[in-house]
Copies of this chain bind each other. A is one copy, B any other.
């Protein structure tokens, strides 16, 4: 199925070049999988890199990058399809949002003896700290990586027919920034 003619471009010398870009996506719900393949392919085309690599990196601790099939029964949205998506179920069985996490026991004026007394935002005028209760999302972040490297070949992102690049929201709706660095030989 996948045939590559390996000739003059298999071992290529030339001018090294780097291209950098960032984009912010507004996520809408927990375990949203946003397909970002068109952006990735546009940046690869814009870069003019012929042979090289792209690193795709989130700047967040409760979001990840995943390369797989974006079929709706796998990825949801759960609310739209009317039943839990396959991957939400699997991720939640790995690290259940309803379990207790020490990370969620936030020390503030409402909870003086809370276990988590560092890595906190500033309290409001009532001494209450607005933090996400997201221990499960950090744990799920062990599975879905902060960054991936993919190959750029023949001036294009190398990917199989079913491979899509997805940004995965493990926490709640918010802006999420993804950065892209493409390096290689420029045409």
A61 near B186: Cβ-Cβ < 8 Å: no
- Which secondary structure dominates where chain A touches chain B? mixed
Task: Select A160's contact among B61, B145, B152, beta carbons within 8 Å.
Answer: B61
Expressed in whole angstroms, the Cα–Cα distance for A107 and B158 within the complex equals 30
Judge whether A28 is part of the interface by a CB distance below 8 angstroms. no
* Binary per-residue interface labels of chain A (88-132) against chain B in the complex, 1 for a CB within 8 Å, 0 otherwise: 001101110000011101000000000110110000000000000
- Residues of chain B contacted by A4 (CB below 8 angstroms): 20, 22, 179
| A-to-B contact residues, CB < 8 Å | 1-2, 4, 6, 9-22, 24, 47-48, 51-53, 55, 57-61, 66-74, 81, 83, 85-87, 90-91, 93-95, 101-103, 105, 115-116, 118-119, 135, 138-139, 141-153, 158-160, 162-163, 175, 177, 179, 181, 183-186
